[in-house]
Amino acid sequence: MRGVTKKLSGRTRISLGALCGLLAGYAALAVAELVSAAVRPEAGPVTAVGGAAIDRTPVTLKDWAIRHFGTHDKLVLQIGILAVLAVLALLLGVLALRHRRAGAGGVLAFGVVGALAATARPDSHSAMDALPSVLGAVAGAVLLYWLVGRLPGVRPSTRRVAGGGGWDRRAFMLAATAAAAASTAAGLLGRVLNSTSERADASRAKVVLPRPASPAAPVPKAAYLQLPGLSPLFTPNSDFYRVDTALVVPKVDATTWRLKIHGQGVTAPRTVTFDDLVQGRAGELIERDITLACVSNEVGGPYVGNARWIGVRLADLLKECGVRPPSRGGPADQLVARSVDGVTIGSPVEAVLDGRDAMLAIGMNGRPLPFAHGFPVRMVVPGLYGYVSACKWIEDIELTTFAAYDAYWVQRSWSQQAPVKTQSRIDTPRTPARLKRGTVMVAGVAWAQHRGIERVEVRIDDGPWRRADLAAEDSVDTWRLWSYPWQATPGSHTLTVRATDGTGATQTEERTPTVPNGATGRHSVEVTVA
């Protein structure tokens, strides 16, 4: 009979067992993906385990991942999780050849791990989050038990063809192919359902940003500087850096979004809707140009960007709720913002109420916030690193004290207070550029939000500091572009930049790491002139 194999070698048998394990793992993840579409995307096992890994990763390793993988760090983590799961699935398949129940039980055990990770996440509010991992594991365990049982020599149900005593290879391959096809269909359907948040997409598509009551001041033409390789004054939304803990970007329906304001010193608690912000019922809309910087940004790093934001001034809203700064007798010195993904960010109440343009932003560069940058609403506070100010997908504001509560990043070794440090960067030329002798335009950006940039200087090798040409200032809350015409001479050279902020403080030469409150030092590039 065609398709019947009399005997299998040990190596072939192990390979088929491993294949069964891999198919079982694939089915488990596919079914979990489909079930997560009915629960919520964040409850999927890869996302849940990945989130748990992020929460428990040592801060030095997390910082290393951001430096080396940038905005792809989450993708690398997900690929790593899938690779580990694939190896474990292969091993469980081989185990099941001798101990079929133990192999199936191993698949169930990983489902338990995924369920615990999903329900332990800060954004989990229901035991339903365990369902994707549990049901996926059950599907994978059943499939492994069934597939391995169709291999020869596996007790108690060895599959033999009628009248032969051989193994029906064709029947096994058809069963394996059918399992793979069904898993693929389930996974693809789940992926489509999870990626199509129709209500959230529709709510964002309907947003029409109104004219702000307080528009941004006109940008001086001299603030723009166009040179090859130099960052633009305004960073396009698509190029704006993204550093957060969300493996799956939350898609929030603006029509159902609510922001609760409560806590110590809040004499008039309030719940704000998106329409309250858009229509000015929560305070007048302002438009401001503000540069944001991530505390994980190394000296000369890319995690800084400038945008035009539109939103409601946060100080006005808090004052309507009865909040007073500590300097005026307010009992709370910390504003804890909570994101829909469970992350908390603690900001100094004094900084939010000291007159700077802290806001609940709804727009970015003339468009509604992108989902990746916090739609429908995020916080923006000039002069503070993002981890203590820029809460995306915000849904709760609680007034408390620094002594009473440590926010997410503070629990992971970062400082409670983190004003942005004066920094500058050389955008062009870049290490290890090879240049021609003659005039070379050295250019870059410098920032010291809420203090402004007063001066930028460039040094060639160990020579004297030379003053660079500064583009006009847009505002003290935005970076400034600068350039320096260098008469390049043959040889290898080191170009270094430093900035002086509006208070007269010059950027320090001392090198410190990003932990616990931002890197210090001066950016240098190495070039060769022919």
Could you count the other beta carbons within 10 Å of the beta carbon of residue 311? 28
Written as six digits, the tokens of 202 are 């529709």
DSSP-derived pairing of the beta strands 491-501 and 524-529: antiparallel
How high is the pLDDT of residue 7?
64
Its pTM stands at: 0.85
Listed as own residue / partner, the contacts of 171-177 with beta carbons closer than 8 Å and 24 or more positions apart are 171/3, 172/16, 172/147, 175/146, 175/147, 175/150, 176/19, 176/20, 176/23, 176/147
The SS3 call for residue 169 is: helix
Fold of the 231-412 domain: Sulfite Oxidase; Chain A, domain 2 (3.90.420)
Written as six digits, the tokens of 527 are 């070039």
DSSP annotation of 42 reads G
Longest Cα–Cα distance of the chain, Å, equals: 94
DSSP-derived pairing of the beta strands 378-380 and 423-428: unpaired
- The helix (H) or strand (E) run that includes residue 84 is helix 73-98
Written as six digits, the tokens of 430 are 């870049």
- Total length of the chain: 530
Nearest to 307 by CA among 382, 212, 237: 237
How high is the pLDDT of residue 4?
57
Tell the residue number behind the tokens 């996302």, with chain if given. 47
- The helix (H) or strand (E) run that includes residue 134 is helix 131-148
- Quote the distance between the C-alpha of residue 393 and its chain's center: 12
Written as six digits, the tokens of 382 are 């000039």
Could you count the other beta carbons within 10 Å of the beta carbon of residue 482? 28
Amino acid found at 369? L
The SS3 call for residue 102 is: helix
How high is the pLDDT of residue 185?
96
How high is the pLDDT of residue 318?
97
How high is the pLDDT of residue 125?
81
Q: At how many degrees (to 10) do helices 10-39 and 169-195 cross?
A: 30
Note whether 117 and 53 are within 8 A (CB): no
Give average pLDDT by consecutive 10-residue segment, the chain, 530 residues.
Answer: 61 93 97 93 91 84 78 85 94 95 96 94 89 97 94 58 61 93 95 81 95 97 97 98 90 96 98 96 96 96 97 97 97 98 96 97 98 98 98 98 97 95 98 96 98 98 98 98 98 98 98 96 97
For residue 486, the cross-strand partners are 440
Question: What is d(CA 98, CA 366) in angstroms, rounded to the nearest whole number?
Answer: 63
How high is the pLDDT of residue 10?
82
Q: 423-529, which class in CATH? A: mainly beta
How far apart are the two ends of the chain, measured CA to CA in Å? 76
**Residue extents of the structural domains in the chain:** 4-196, 231-412, 423-529
How high is the pLDDT of residue 221?
97
- Quote the distance between the C-alpha of residue 467 and its chain's center: 37
How high is the pLDDT of residue 61?
81
Could you count the other beta carbons within 10 Å of the beta carbon of residue 162? 7
Question: What is d(CA 434, CA 53) in angstroms, rounded to the nearest whole number?
Answer: 42
What does 202-269 look like in DSSP terms, one character per residue? Answer: HHHHT--PPPPSBPPPPPPGGG----TTPPPSS--GGGS----S-SS-----TTT-EEEEEETT-SS-
Q: Do domains 231-412 and 423-529 have the same CATH topology?
A: no
Give the burial string for 168-186 (b: 16+ CB within 10 Å, else e).
bbeebeebbeebbeebeeb
Could you count the other beta carbons within 10 Å of the beta carbon of residue 119? 17
Question: What is d(CA 186, CA 124) in angstroms, rounded to the nearest whole number?
Answer: 24
Nearest to 82 by CA among 119, 33, 116, 118: 33
